Amino acid sequence: MKQFAFVPLEACHVKQVRPQSAQQTVKIDLHDALAAELAAGRAAETLLCDGFPVACGGLLDEQAGRAKAWTLIGEAMPRAAWPALVERMRTEIGKALDPDAGWAHRVWAETVYDWAAGHKLLLHLGMEYEGLTRGTFGRDRHAAIYARVRGDVAALPIRVRCMNMTAERCLWEDSLGGDVPWPVEQAMRERRAA
């Protein structure tokens, strides 16, 4: 049985996690300075599997109440570790957004548009689809933006919300392939919000 543990992120962990092939197509140079910046971020942790880093992530404080969530998921990430990883990430985002003790009003993340696992992860984290950006990860590599915001943040205009909800539902149904039907996911979100 594999042993999992969350530990504070060290810069060397960033280099030890060999990202999944979809993340490798995004040409980001994980040089020493960037690894040190990620390790210095808030809630920066590494998931160890039998003592070896298989994933790492955290929140980068963008000031003015904004945070960017990031993660590297390694090829060696065991399927059994996903529930613990998702729960840990949801918890840390929730702490950042806590109206009493938190430090952010908005946490956002992005994923490669055509990487289903990235959409699935961000939706499981309770983030909502906000839009697309062209060329974010290269000339032909577009991104989808997701965010979670505190309840006291003003809502987007109704027409935009309706359009985003339709797009989010399509992304959910396409990326999960029917594992969890959309109404079930919506019910779970409503329970968590209450």
What is the tens place of the pLDDT at every residue in 79-114? 899 899 999 999 999 999 999 999 999 999 999 887
The predicted model scores a pTM of: 0.83
The residue among 67, 57, 147, 73 whose CA lies nearest residue 115 is: 73
Task: Region of 120 please: left (phi>0), alpha (psi -120 to 50) or beta.
Answer: alpha
CB 14 within 8 Å of CB 39: yes
Buried residues in 141-151 as b, exposed as e (16+ CB within 10 A): bbbbbbbbbee
**Tens-digit pLDDT profile for residues 19-47:** 766 655 555 666 778 778 888 888 899 99
List the single range of 58-67, 111-120, 171-180 with lowest mean pLDDT.
171-180
4-193 topology per CATH: Aminopeptidase (3.40.630)
Distance separating alpha carbons of residues 84 and 6, to the nearest angstrom? 10
The two tokens of residue 114 are: 């055509």
